[in-house]
């Protein structure tokens, strides 16, 4: 029987009743991904606190890992169980944090984040062990979650006590025990109560069964032996279980009485459950009965999550060899372990003082409630404001300097704005009184940043489809001399940078293409690495433009794919995440597509970010994007951001704004190029900035900030800027 024959079976992460049906089901098992406490901390990063009683890194790492598996597993077309490694009494704060995440996820989506959790209080007295597990199991059962309880080396009577304690709460539990030879288990325990051993697996049938000594079996013989056993003894009372503490040791299995020995007609097929236990508890992925497809999936997961290893049956010899190399690199010694983790935790060749400066800058940019003023347009920003009257302002260098100096000198603007993104012209520009723009910005308490991409050519990439923007898919220019320009920008006073790559959506044409996605994420990762080498914090902006008639679901799907690929590329390019920030699009419908409300936009946007953005990334700053002509761009952007924070008050990163026209439109229309309107224009800019700070705290009241609304709306200037 295949697990696909189970009613309701589906690809992706399973929880509740469906997950339990797989735990009970023993042939052709799905993949199981298991996060250990140490491995989870590794995922989150060494810079987060993880001392006993806090376990912030372990909690965030496990939660982020679970979201990642949820994001990618469906694409591989297999059922997956997400489990956590055995948690002892000293690690209960870690368990508490994950369980709280499960309860919050259940409240939001009707299922838990993790499929199951494992508790191991075997170092405690039996009575205390059982009582502790009962306390946690009651919480878990309220959200229909599975518990695996470890009780260590024990006897059959102890197993039965555990069964008696847990079974009144729920049937969804398993017992992990290493039984001594000769142990006898009472017949009252049903077969559904699966007892998994650290070195043996005891699967019970009614009647008395004794545990025999294990038989040595080499790794290379596992599959063949299992097939022989299945063929020879289809009906058996027990299971086979293979474990190993080191790759070079023999694998052990346990036999149980057959029909011939018991005289009973036992209709229970052989179970084959490979289970690898790594020497180092730093990495906690466990695989059970891998199919070829599952092997592909979880060969990818480690690469995405800092090269954590994974193994299971069906792996090629090379994969096993690769794992052995990883194994030997650690060798159980702290020195080897630090060397290994240090190699992939931080970018090579960047001195400690550079990393410290990058992190300090990023932290300042992510100050509570604050966002970015995007003032990096190559032309006058009034041309991109999408307003008929504003478009009449002459686009000359004097007007651009006058407008921008007015904005940057707005009294009190730094209460809401942490950084200002400049165009190259503006970085080296002075106002009418001869004061540099950089000095105006820093003097007003903000950090100058610089746009360093050179836009794109509308001719696009050869052979790609024409998208909703009216041209083929594009590749942003500027990498050729980026190193030199970053050095110049830093010397002038810039402390962060921005680079924008554009992707178009068209489900009928399959846009964005894989080519465009790969070009985008590689280019942005390469840019980010160059910036960090010159002490500039990179804003990574893979913008999916809203032009088109697609629905919000297609935008969600493609945004998730793009962001997952983006962080894979950033890992490949050794990007120091703690010294970088992300500027993504919100998940929205196409301008001509079916309109989604603010709550739907908020839910799908945050869901996508939780599935793809590592917790080590300190900040996410949304671009506002184009809106339909009957929509107020400023108000829409503020309301969407505020709705996210109302629905999700606790997020692992600073979730804020990096708006251009959504901060400046009313300011521009108020100013209209007239010096006498300066004070009123500054007031408008400060008011909208304040509104977005309120949004970051989830407190913005729709309509409470004055705006020019939709009167005079025209199609904004499209394309590169």
Q: Using an 8 Å Cβ cutoff, are 640 and 647 in contact?
A: no
pLDDT at 694 over 80: yes
Strand order in the sheet with 31-35: 12-13, 79-84, 31-35
Q: Using an 8 Å Cβ cutoff, are 423 and 451 in contact?
A: yes
Residue spans in the chain of domains classed CATH 3.20.20.70: 16-231, 363-649+660-679
Quick check: is 473 catalytic? no
The mean of the pLDDT values for the chain is 77
- For residue 613, the SS3 value is coil
**Average pLDDT, stretch 180-187?**
40
Quick check: is 661 catalytic? no
Instruction: Give the model confidence (pLDDT) of 3-46 as tens digits.
Output: 677 788 888 899 999 888 877 664 445 577 888 888 888 888 76
At 200 the pLDDT is: 26
Q: Which two tokens stand for residue 646?
A: 């109302």
Percentage above 70 pLDDT, the chain: 72
pLDDT at 239 over 60: no
Tell me how far apart the alpha carbons of residues 317 and 321 are, in angstroms, rounded to a whole number.
Answer: 6
Q: What CATH number does domain 16-231 carry, 3.30.2350.10, 3.40.50.10380, 3.20.20.70, 3.90.650.10?
A: 3.20.20.70
Query: Strand pairing partners for 430?
Result: 436
At 629 the pLDDT is: 85
Identify the helix (H) or strand (E) that includes residue 667: helix 661-671
Mean pLDDT: which of 232-246, 329-343, 479-493 is highest? Answer: 479-493
Residue 555 to residues 155, 561, 593, 718, Cα–Cα distance (Å): 56, 10, 11, 20
Instruction: Give the model confidence (pLDDT) of 554-613 as tens digits.
Output: 999 999 999 999 999 999 999 999 999 999 999 999 999 999 999 999 999 999 999 999
**Average pLDDT, stretch 334-349?**
41
At 125 the pLDDT is: 80
More confident residue, 516 or 297: 516
Q: Using an 8 Å Cβ cutoff, are 520 and 545 in contact?
A: no
Tell me how far apart the alpha carbons of residues 544 and 559 are, in angstroms, rounded to a whole number.
Answer: 7
At 467 the pLDDT is: 97
Position 429 confidence tier, pLDDT thresholds 50, 70, 90: very high
Position 1 confidence tier, pLDDT thresholds 50, 70, 90: low
Position 236 confidence tier, pLDDT thresholds 50, 70, 90: very low
At 2 the pLDDT is: 64
Burial 135-148 (b: 16+ CB within 10 A, else e): ebbeebbebbbbbb
Burial 512-522 (b: 16+ CB within 10 A, else e): bbeebbebbbb
Identify the helix (H) or strand (E) that includes residue 639: helix 633-647
Q: Which of 583, 588, 661, 686 is catalytic?
A: 583
Backbone angles phi, psi at 537, to 5 degrees: -75, 120
Q: Which of 71, 58, 78, 67 is nearest to 112 (CA)?
A: 67
Position 472 confidence tier, pLDDT thresholds 50, 70, 90: very high
Tell me how far apart the alpha carbons of residues 228 and 216 are, in angstroms, rounded to a whole number.
Answer: 16
Tell me how far apart the alpha carbons of residues 339 and 343 are, in angstroms, rounded to a whole number.
Answer: 6
Instruction: Give the model confidence (pLDDT) of 132-151 as tens digits.
Output: 889 999 999 999 999 888 77
DSSP of 488-548: HHHHHT--EEEEEEEE--BTTTTBSPHHHHHHHHHHHHHHHHHHHHTTPEEEEEEEE---S
Q: Which of 221, 255, 215 is nearest to 236 (CA)?
A: 255
Instruction: Give the model confidence (pLDDT) of 67-100 as tens digits.
Output: 988 988 887 777 888 888 888 888 899 999 999 9
Largest CA distance in the chain: 101
**Average pLDDT, stretch 694-718?**
82
At 175 the pLDDT is: 75
Beta 496-503 vs 447-451: how paired, if at all? parallel
Q: What are the E-state strand segments in 180-218?
A: 194-196, 201-203, 215-217
Picking from 185-194, 403-412, 487-496, which range would have the lowest pLDDT averaged per residue?
185-194
Rounded-to-10 torsion of CA 207, 208, 214, 215: -60
Mean pLDDT: which of 21-25, 243-247, 283-287, 585-589 is highest? Answer: 585-589
At 379 the pLDDT is: 87
Q: Using an 8 Å Cβ cutoff, are 591 and 626 in contact?
A: yes
**Average pLDDT, stretch 227-245?**
33
At 653 the pLDDT is: 95
At 386 the pLDDT is: 75
Picking from 243-247, 379-383, 516-520, which range would have the lowest pLDDT averaged per residue?
243-247
DSSP of 425-451: HHHT-B-TTS-BHHHHHHHTT-EEEEE
Position 225 confidence tier, pLDDT thresholds 50, 70, 90: very low
Tell me how far apart the alpha carbons of residues 549 and 716 are, in angstroms, rounded to a whole number.
Answer: 18
Rounded-to-10 torsion of CA 54, 56, 59, 60: 170
Q: Using an 8 Å Cβ cutoff, are 590 and 549 in contact?
A: yes
pLDDT at 316 over 60: no
Percentage above 90 pLDDT, the chain: 52
Q: Which of 37, 286, 541, 560 is catalytic?
A: 541
pLDDT at 318 over 50: no
Q: Kindly report whether the peptide bond that precedes residue 382 is cis, defined as omega within 30 degrees of 0.
A: no
Backbone angles phi, psi at 536, to 5 degrees: -100, 130
**Average pLDDT, stretch 235-264?**
31
Position 193 confidence tier, pLDDT thresholds 50, 70, 90: very low
Residue 258 per-residue DSSP state: B
Tell me how far apart the alpha carbons of residues 513 and 473 are, in angstroms, rounded to a whole number.
Answer: 8
At 23 the pLDDT is: 72
Instruction: Give the model confidence (pLDDT) of 344-370 as tens digits.
Output: 345 557 888 999 999 999 999 999 999
Q: Using an 8 Å Cβ cutoff, are 552 and 541 in contact?
A: no
pTM metric for this prediction: 0.58
At 27 the pLDDT is: 41
Tell me the Cα Rg of the chain: 29
CB neighbour list of residue 482: distance below 8 Å, 6 or more residues apart: 452, 527, 530, 531
Picking from 46-55, 302-311, 535-544, which range would have the lowest pLDDT averaged per residue?
302-311
CB neighbour list of residue 208: distance below 8 Å, 6 or more residues apart: 184, 185, 187
At 74 the pLDDT is: 83
At 275 the pLDDT is: 30
CATH class of residue range 363-649+660-679: alpha beta
> Helix axis angle, 633-647 relative to 678-696, nearest 10°?
20
Q: Which two tokens stand for residue 442?
A: 């820093």
DSSP of 343-394: HHHS-TT--HHHHHHHHHHHHHHT-TT-EEEEE--SS-GGGGS-BTTGGGS-
Q: Which of 176, 655, 660, 596 is nearest to 376 (CA)?
A: 660
pLDDT at 203 over 50: no
Q: Using an 8 Å Cβ cutoff, are 567 and 576 in contact?
A: no
């Amino acid at each position: 029987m295949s697990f696909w024959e189970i009613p309701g079976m589906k690809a992706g992460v399973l929880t509740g009743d469906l997950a339990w049906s797989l735990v009970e089901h023993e042939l052709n098992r799905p993949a199981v991904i298991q996060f250990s406490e140490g491995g989870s901390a590794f995922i989150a990063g060494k810079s987060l606190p993880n001392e006993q009683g806090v376990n912030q890194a372990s909690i965030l790492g496990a939660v982020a890992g679970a979201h990642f598996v949820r994001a990618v597993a469906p694409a591989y077309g297999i059922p997956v169980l997400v489990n956590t490694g055995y948690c002892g009494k000293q690690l209960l704060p870690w368990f508490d944090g994950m369980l709280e995440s499960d309860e919050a996820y259940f409240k939001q989506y009707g299922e838990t984040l993790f499929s199951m959790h494992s508790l191991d209080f075997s170092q405690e007295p039996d009575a205390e062990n059982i009582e502790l597990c009962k306390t946690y199991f009651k919480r878990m059962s309220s959200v229909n979650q599975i518990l695996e309880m470890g009780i260590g080396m024990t006897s059959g009577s102890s197993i039965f006590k555990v069964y008696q304690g847990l079974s009144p709460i729920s049937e969804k539990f398993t017992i992990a025990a290493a039984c001594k030879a000769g142990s006898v288990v009472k017949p009252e325990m049903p077969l559904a109560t699966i007892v998994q051993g650290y070195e043996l697996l005891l699967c019970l049938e009614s009647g008395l069964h004794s545990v025999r000594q294990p038989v040595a079996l080499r790794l290379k013989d596992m599959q063949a032996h299992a097939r022989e056993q299945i063929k020879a003894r289809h009906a058996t009372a027990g299971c086979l279980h293979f474990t190993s503490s080191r790759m070079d040791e023999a694998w052990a299995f346990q036999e149980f009485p057959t029909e011939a020995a018991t005289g009973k007609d036992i209709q229970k097929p052989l179970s084959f459950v490979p289970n690898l236990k790594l020497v180092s508890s730093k990495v906690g992925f466990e695989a059970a009965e891998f199919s070829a497809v599952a092997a592909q999936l979880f060969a990818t997961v480690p690469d995405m999550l800092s090269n954590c290893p994974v193994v299971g049956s069906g792996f090629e010899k090379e994969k096993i060899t690769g794992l052995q190399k990883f194994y030997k690199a650690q060798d159980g010694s702290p020195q080897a372990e630090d060397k290994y983790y240090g190699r992939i935790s931080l970018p090579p060749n960047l001195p400690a003082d550079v990393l410290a400066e990058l992190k300090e800058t990023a932290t300042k940019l992510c100050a509570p409630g604050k966002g970015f003023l995007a003032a990096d347009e190559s032309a006058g920003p009034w041309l991109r404001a999408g307003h008929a009257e504003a478009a009449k302002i002459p686009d000359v260098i004097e007007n651009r300097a006058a407008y921008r100096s007015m904005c940057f000198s707005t009294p009190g603007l730094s209460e809401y704005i942490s950084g200002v993104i400049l165009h190259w012209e503006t970085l080296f520009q002075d106002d009418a009184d001869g004061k540099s723009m950089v000095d105006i910005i820093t003097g007003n308490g903000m950090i100058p940043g610089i746009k360093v991409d050179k836009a794109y050519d509308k001719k696009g990439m050869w052979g790609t489809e024409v998208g909703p923007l009216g041209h083929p898919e594009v590749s942003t220019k500027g990498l050729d001399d980026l190193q030199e320009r970053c050095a110049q920008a830093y010397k002038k006073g810039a402390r962060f940078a921005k680079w924008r790559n554009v992707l178009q959506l068209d489900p009928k044409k399959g846009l964005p293409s894989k080519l465009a996605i790969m070009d985008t994420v590689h280019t942005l990762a390469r840019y980010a690495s160059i910036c960090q080498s010159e002490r500039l914090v990179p804003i990574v902006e893979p913008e999916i433009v809203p032009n088109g008639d697609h629905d919000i679901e297609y935008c969600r799907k493609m945004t998730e794919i793009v962001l997952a690929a983006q962080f894979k590329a950033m890992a490949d390019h050794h990007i120091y995440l703690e010294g970088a920030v992300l500027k993504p699009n919100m998940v929205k419908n196409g301008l001509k597509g079916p309109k989604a409300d603010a709550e739907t936009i908020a839910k799908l946007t945050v869901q996508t970010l939780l599935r793809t953005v590592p917790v080590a990334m300190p900040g996410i700053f949304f671009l506002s994007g184009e809106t339909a002509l009957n929509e107020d761009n400023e108000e829409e952007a503020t309301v969407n951001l505020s709705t996210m924070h109302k629905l999700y008050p606790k997020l692992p990163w600073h979730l804020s704004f990096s708006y251009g026209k959504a901060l400046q439109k009313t300011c521009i229309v108020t100013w209209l190029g007239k010096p006498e309107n300066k004070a009123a224009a500054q007031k408008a800019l400060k008011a909208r900035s304040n509104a977005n700070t309120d949004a970051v705290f989830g407190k913005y009241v729709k309509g409470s900030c004055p705006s020019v609304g939709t009167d005079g709306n025209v199609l904004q200037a499209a394309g590169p800027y």
